A = this chain, B = another copy of it.
Amino acid sequence: MKFIENGTVTSPKGFKAAGVSAGLKANGKKDLALVVSDNVANAAGVYTRNLVKGHSLQLTIKNMAGRELKAVAVNSGCANACAGRAGEEAAEIVCKKVAGILGTEKEKIAVGSTGVIGYVLPHEKITAGIERACKELSYDEDGGHNAEMAIMTTDTVPKEFAVSVDIGGKEVIVGGMAKGSGMIHPNMGTMISIVTTDAKVSKEVLDYALKKVTEVTFNRVSVDGDTSVCDMCLVMANGQAGNDEITSVDSEEAKLFTEALHKVCDSLARGLAKDGEGATKLLEVCVENAPTAEDAYKIALAVAKSPLCKTAFFGEDANWGRILTAAGYSGAQFDPLRVDIYIGDVKVCENGEALPFDEDAALAILKKNEIKVLIDMLDGTFNDKMWTCDFSYDYVKINGSYRT
């Protein structure tokens, strides 16, 4: 597998993209992205498990019944959620407009929205924006980068990634982009991500691979424990790489493709956590040797969600008692006298008990912008991992005044 420098959604063959300012963001920044496949692509999607779903997302779920997409249009600056019949109509208008220009059926268009809840997508602005975006569609990397810029909200850095992999003698490329960075919590994606590939893959394999991969990537990220109402991850496979179609989930080719998809989603997921609202540090919470997979997950999740753990990391304080506390209320069953905790490579707790440790060495680790925490349960063979970030003043600042 090879990393593609400056890789993005336009890295695979036959995908073009654009990002424009449709005037939805008050600051005039790009807010409308379009990703288009030359031919209708096989597609798969995973969606928020929030009971409340935005109008754009609801229409996408409907249009995805046939698991085929020609294009995805995503706007930032307005969630188009909880806005009643007018919100539903706005989503329909976007699909019809994009389909009309591209000359395809409206059911082949997916639409996504992110921003403040309770406002309808303004028809004129979005229609004019779509016309402009269609004119600016580009196959080169700038097209992809502009699309990524246009889906960002409080994100401070773009998240794009692409890899290539040899499948049956053909170079297959998988590229993706994603936006965070608040209301981030597993189930599902809890963000918007669009992944493209020129692999020739059956709908079944694509669906299987996406579900398998999101479970261990996007669903292992938590910024604040809030699961959004608009979020989705869509993958489009247009088959232009020329490989023999991958039709069996058990084949070597499916394995190679899934690995490439995993690499892209893993990188994007990590990027989401690192760029969580107000984040100064990326935290990797690893649980090892738990008695069951569920226990490992529960412990990693509780630590990754704990405001007390997250503020301690912001304060660069090796307060491991909070990590053990979070494990204790996670719902996992374990012996509190059989837990070791490491911050980086410094062991701070042994058998559930304080261990004298080198505070300077711990501080040196805590001052880094990527920190690994290991909770060793010493009682089994199951591991799990969550990506999260620290909890800073800026998280409060960003979210204390988001709407106004």
Taking Cβ atoms with an 8 Å cutoff, the residues of A that contact B are 49-53, 79, 81-84, 116-119, 182-183, 185, 187, 224-229, 305-308, 311-312, 314-322, 324-329, 332-334, 336, 349, 352-354, 391-393, 395-404
Contact = CB atoms under 8 A, between A and B. Distances in A.
Given A82-B352, A396-B393, A404 B118 contact: no
Contact of A400 (B49, B312, B326): B312
Contacts of A332: 51
26 contacts: A50-B328, A51-B329, A52-B325, A52-B327, A79-B321, A82-B349, A82-B353, A82-B354, A118-B349, A118-B353, A118-B354, A119-B354, A183-B322, A183-B325, A225-B225, A226-B329, A227-B325, A307-B395, A308-B399, A311-B395, A311-B398, A312-B402, A315-B401, A316-B400, A391-B396, A393-B396
Given A311-B399, A319-B402, A324 B117 contact: yes
B403 A318 contact: yes
Contacts of A50: 325, 328-329
A83 B353 contact: yes
B324 A52 contact: yes
B52 A312 contact: no
9 cross-chain pairs, A with B, having the tightest CB-CB distances, nearest first: A117-B321, A315-B400, A52-B328, A311-B399, A118-B354, A227-B329, A50-B328, A51-B328, A84-B353
- State the number of copies, please: 2
Nearest to A309: B226
Given A50-B328, A182-B308, A325-B52, A317 B395 contact: no
A182 B84 CA distance: 40
Contacts of A312: 399-400, 402-403
A118 to B, nearest CB: 4
Nearest to A307: B224
A322 B224 CA distance: 12
A306 B308 CA distance: 14
Contact of A403 (B82, B187, B319, B352): B319
Residue among A82, A306, A314 with most chain B CB within 10 A: A82
A56 B399 CA distance: 39
Nearest to A228: B325
Nearest to A334: B51
A118 B326 CA distance: 15
A307 to B, nearest CB: 4
Contacts of A326: 226
A348 to B, nearest CB: 8
Given A49-B329, A116-B319, 17 more contacts: A52-B352, A117-B322, A118-B320, A118-B321, A225-B225, A225-B306, A226-B325, A227-B329, A229-B324, A229-B325, A307-B391, A311-B395, A311-B398, A312-B399, A317-B402, A319-B402, A319-B403
